[in-house]
Structure 1
Amino acid sequence: MAKGTRCMAVLLFLGVAARAVSTVTDGLLPNGNFEERPGKSQLNGTIVTGRYSIPRWEISGFVEYIGSGQKQGEMMLPVPEGACAVRLGNDATIRQKISVTRRTEYSITFSAARTCAQAEKLNVSVIYDSGLLPIQTVYTTSGWDSYAWAFRAKHTVVWLTIHNPGAEEDPACGPLIDSVAIKTLNRPRHTKSNMLRNGDFEEGPYVFPGSTWGVLVPPMAEDDFSPLPGWMIMSDTKVVKYVDAPHHRVPQGARAVELVAGRECALLQEVATVPGRSYRMTFYVGDAADGCVASMVVQAYAARASQQVQYESQGVGGFKRGQLDFVAVGNLTRVVLQSMNHHMKPDGTLCGPVVDDVSLVSVRRRSARRLSNGL
């Protein structure tokens, strides 16, 4: 497992500025992968010299333009997508102004990697909506991870700002940034057949085509907007991983969540209930067919009830159905899913059980007892 002491913070600044506004659709921002290059006269070696040298972006501070395979000393600087990325040195910023729809929720997905600094921090900012994205663990062997963060637009223009507040002795030891994308989030509603919103996880952050490592969804305060509508991720520093069917084994549909942080992170949703009424939660537990061989245990909690579901993973895909019956004790009930153990793939990266198709229904007490007994 690759570890570091870095912490990455993500904020968003909403506002109006003088530069041209990019009209965006779901996917990469204009030049979001930095493949449109600065002119040779706007580079001093790798250092970008002009404020508007990188097409579609505005920069300030020590910003470098990095090509795939470029070296820093003996260290190779990989690029996850395409041929180029940017590196943000001390107090460096890149930003882009985009047009959005008021009162609409959006998710930003971006890729980042640590280079030679050991305590890097990154601010991705938008005013009015802000959140902290602490990142202390690398989840891929390449060192690149993709992260998601969500906001609700209060204006029709958003300044998306990515800033490195670091002050390293070597200004060229900042983080690499690549593949910045946006996605409009819908707000799934509960239905008669499922009291949970987005129980199948089909609504979530943008996943880059061809990306095999999924998207990390960070912990968030209860009043934050979630890249996984309906769900909260509760932890101090750890994340869950959003995975897709083209690159992982998913029990149902096209998306699921991999619990990669053990007991240090919980996936939960709060739902309206009637005290004294009986409820049943069902869900799939499986593996993502990513080589994670382990005896996995997912624990489900609701009201005063809990249930462990054990799944023996061979790392090649598969799943089983879990169930939790409980009696509500309040008008609001939190349903929680949590992996009970840490797991690691042979390459040293963290992995865990996949959960999917989480459903909650109200049941008559007699029916609940009969179903529990298999009648």
Structure 2
Amino acid sequence: MDKFKILLFVLIVATCGAALAITDGLLPNGNFEVGPKPSQLKGSVITAQNAIPNWTISGFVEYIKSGQKQGDMLLVVPEGAYAVRLGNEASIRQKVKLVKGMFYSLTFSAARTCAQEEKLNVTVTPTTEKSDWGVFPIQTMYGSEGWDSYACGFRADYPEVEITIHNTGVEEDPACGPLIDSVALKTLYPPRRTRANMLKNGNFEEGPYVLPNTSWGVLLPPHIEDAHSPLPGWIVESLKAVKYIDSEHFFIPEGKRAIELVAGKESAIAQQVITQIGKVYVLSFTVGDANNSCEGSMAVEAFAGRDTVKVEYLSKGKGGFVRSKLRFKAVSTRTRIMFLSTFYSMKSDNSGSLCGPVIDDVKLLSVRYP
């Protein structure tokens, strides 16, 4: 066998069965741009389990081209020209090689089609923890474009894992399932507390992969749906998601990343920190808007143990922020720091999309001379 044939054989093995070692960014063929052969399609329905390179499918899965019509509905793909649609109980999965013991976040884009109450189940197997899975309700759309990106976090308990995205819904028409595109991974490095900040990841710079060709940020699911937060150091302690935003597409008060509280009091983040009873501390932070047409009166409530402050902000939807502080005396050896948005807000672009105030640059320091 000559050298060319040996190289070709190695490439075929790498793309057809073996798990692939990945770096931060899209999974191999994570945007589904390399699709099935014409012989493996019946219309848009994929007929072979391994028809999409690097992926294995089960159930009713369709290969969707951007601009494809379904009745009066035009199907739009957020990145590239192709996406997949998961019908009733259908799934896609891929094996990847990771560093055992490291933390990772999975980001993917999803859009609802004709079903109303769709949910996606994301699992990572094998794992030593029963809770490395997440259920993502996608009936609430936060992005004006009809697509949203989601992230979940997990720990790699084995050097090779299989990532599965599964549509748990059962519709009369299996072609009403959600569209999936742009599946990516990012390594998460656990942040540390420093002398300049008792809070971990107070500037939110460490977080999930933000897809560069999308402009709607990344939704972080509630803590009850996520074993390991994709936002290291923080818990999404609410019934609804919060949004992770970047400076490439939004106004950010400090650094390159921030959090947008997009669902009123149902959208909150929290962190517990070790404190000394009787000692005085100062919690400082910024409140603003993301320059995303989110206009009107906003308010963020900050909590530190039993103490609280409400920061009001009048947004013109064009970017801006105010700084605020909460001074408190610790009454426990552990103090819970939490932020939530007082009001619900919607974008002024007539999209009906939820939005809200941005928080950033969160710092906690003890006061030596109170």
1:170-209 equivalent positions in 2, closer than 5 A: 170-209=173-212
Question: Aligned partners of 1:167 and 1:91: how far apart in 2?
Answer: 7
Per-residue displacement from partner, 1:128-173 (whole Å, max 9, x unpaired)?
Answer: 3223334441012222100000000100011001111222111111
Q: Which residue of 2 aligns with 1:314?
A: 316
Displacement over 4 Å in runs of 4+: none
1:255-274 equivalent positions in 2, closer than 5 A: 255-274=257-276
Question: Aligned partners of 2:177 and 2:305: how far apart in 1?
Answer: 45
1:115-264 equivalent positions in 2, closer than 5 A: 115-127=113-125, 128=127, 129-221=132-224, 224-236=227-239, 238-264=240-266
CA RMSD of aligned residues (A): 1.4
Structure 1 residues 202, 240: CA separation in 2 closer, same or farther (over 3 Å shift)? Answer: same
Question: Aligned partners of 1:120 and 1:331: how far apart in 2?
Answer: 42
For residue 74 of structure 1, report the CA deviation from its aligned partner.
Answer: 1.1
Q: Secondary structure at the match of 1:172?
A: helix
Question: Aligned partners of 1:131 and 1:117: how far apart in 2?
Answer: 20
1:260-299 equivalent positions in 2, closer than 5 A: 260-299=262-301
Check whether the contact 1:222–1:232 (CA below 8 A) recurs between aligned residues.
Answer: no
Per-residue displacement from partner, 1:232-265 (whole Å, max 9, x unpaired)?
Answer: 01122x1111000011010000000011111112
Structure 1 residues 239, 223: CA separation in 2 closer, same or farther (over 3 Å shift)? Answer: closer
Check whether the contact 2:112–2:139 (CA below 8 A) recurs between aligned residues.
Answer: no
Residue type at the aligned position of 2:318: V
For residue 119 of structure 1, report the CA deviation from its aligned partner.
Answer: 2.0
Check whether the contact 1:242–1:257 (CA below 8 A) recurs between aligned residues.
Answer: yes
Question: Aligned partners of 2:293 and 2:213: how far apart in 1?
Answer: 18
Question: Aligned partners of 1:132 and 1:122: how far apart in 2?
Answer: 6
Identity %: 59
> Given the two structures, how large is their TM-score scaled by the length of structure 2?
0.92
Question: Aligned partners of 1:56 and 1:102: how far apart in 2?
Answer: 21
Q: Secondary structure at the match of 1:191?
A: coil
Per-residue displacement from partner, 1:280-337 (whole Å, max 9, x unpaired)?
Answer: 0000111111111111111111111111111111111111111001111111110011
Question: Aligned partners of 2:333 and 2:320: how far apart in 1?
Answer: 36
Residue type at the aligned position of 1:154: D
For residue 109 of structure 1, report the CA deviation from its aligned partner.
Answer: 0.2
Runs of 5+ unmatched residues, structure 1 = 1-17, 369-375
Q: Secondary structure at the match of 1:321?
A: strand
Instruction: Choose from 330, 333, 353 the match for 1:331.
Output: 333
Residue type at the aligned position of 2:306: R
Per-residue displacement from partner, 1:195-242 (whole Å, max 9, x unpaired)?
Answer: 000000000000011311000001013982111100001122x11110
Q: Secondary structure at the match of 2:265?
A: helix
Question: Aligned partners of 2:157 and 2:245: how far apart in 1?
Answer: 30
